[in-house]
A = this chain, B = another copy of it.
Amino acid sequence: MTTIEFEAVPAVEARPRTPGLVVMKFGGTSVGDTEKLKRVAARLVAAHDDGAKVVAVLSAMGKTTDELIRLAHEVSSNPHPREYDMLVSTGERISNALCAMAIHDLGHEAVSFTGSQAGIVTDDSHTKAKIVEVRAQRIHGALDENRIVLVAGFQGVSTATQDVTTLGRGGSDTTAVALAAALGADACEIFTDVAGVFTADPRIVPGALKLNSVTYEEMLEMSASGAKVMALRSIEVARSYGVKLRVRSTFVDGEGTWIGEEDDVVLEKAIISGVTHDTSEAKVTIVGVPDRPGIAAKVFRELAGAAVNIDMIVQNVSQDGAATISFTLPKTDVPIAEPILDRLREELGANRVEHDPDVAKISLIGAGMKSHPGVAADMFDALAEAGINIEIISTSSIRVSCVIRASQVERAVEVVHARFQSFAEERVNG
């Protein structure tokens, strides 16, 4: 039976295949109440009736996990990680068991598995465990009996301790992709409350277009720069194992957006896959740092040591030989970073540390950008015409990101999307 080792090891080339198998993942809003759970059940039954072997991964219902976390903080100022995982892993067991009941009610056979029963083996890093292996015997057994298989997302079991673990943020996506890889599924479908991946947030840009396909790299950059469609880590696992992904709507039928290798994705004249934005970061500026070698290294090594996630960094040196270092970090990491920065300011003899929560990041992403050097300049130009000041710039081979004032983010998305609208249309319409 299938045993594949996962996140801890490099990708394997040859993986087993199970033709006709599809892994279908449904997020918390897709299973928000029992009525929605019944619709998901009907959708799984329809796929099974169409001849597919169906493995579904459901998140916890709506706010269940938040409610469990609230209870944990009521009994403990610092919930014990092992017990925290024992607690929050129950949410997915509830939704998956309920969905299995609903499928039985429709006259089909189904079985729900905990992460442990499904063979999701992890390391023992509670609250942020990594999948090291999938032992898929029970799933194969149930599929051979023609059952629809439901797997509780976001969780596994540590072989070292036999304890329940959870995978951290976006864990259900990771469960689904890991299962698709281990089982050799034809595809891993991520069901969500939007119709696919768009060229910009449709709530801000009503003319945003749904993409038919994007590359893994584009999707990684889009997720890293604010698109909330899929968790970053799950896209990395999909790319490593060549799992074809498809993002589609739970509630409306449609093709959705395919995510795969560049060869599978029609690029042609298409340069841009989308504009993303992110208001979850803050900007920190250290003013008047002595301009000596190793200062920046010291700052970022200490922050990394406290697991603070630094995103964009710029450093300027002024006339008088003092440097200014600016960087962005998640707002949630600011309380961890503050005492470290206060100490560093004294140690380094810097003038002051400024915290600025009122920033936003806007990014332009497209695999075609590699061969079109004018894209970044066009983006800066569009922002300048709209009177939007750029505070920090960062680029990769397929992305350009700018930090701007938070109050200007919607306008920025509009004008950048409008500037690249024609490229987006070419891509979508071929």
Contacts and interface: CB of A to CB of B under 8 A. Distances in A.
B86 A93 contact: yes
Interface in A138-158: 138
Given A90-B93, A93-B87, A98 B75 contact: yes
Given A68-B94, A71-B34, A117-B162, A104 B76 contact: yes
Interface of A: 34, 37-38, 41, 68, 71-72, 74-80, 82-84, 86-87, 90, 93-94, 96-102, 104-105, 110-112, 114, 117, 138, 162-164
Nearest to A38: B75
A98 B87 contact: yes
5 contacts: A72-B101, A76-B102, A84-B97, A87-B101, A90-B93
Contact of A34 (B75, B104, B164): B75
A153 B2 CA distance: 35
B100 A90 contact: no
Given A34-B74, A94-B90, A117-B162, A83 B68 contact: no
A186 to B, nearest CB: 27
Nearest to A77: B105
A83 B98 CA distance: 7
Contacts of A83: 97-98, 100-101, 104, 110-112
A38 B72 CA distance: 11
A100 B80 contact: yes
Contact of A97 (B74, B87, B162): B87
A34 B67 CA distance: 12
A75 B93 contact: no
Contacts of A71: 34, 94, 98
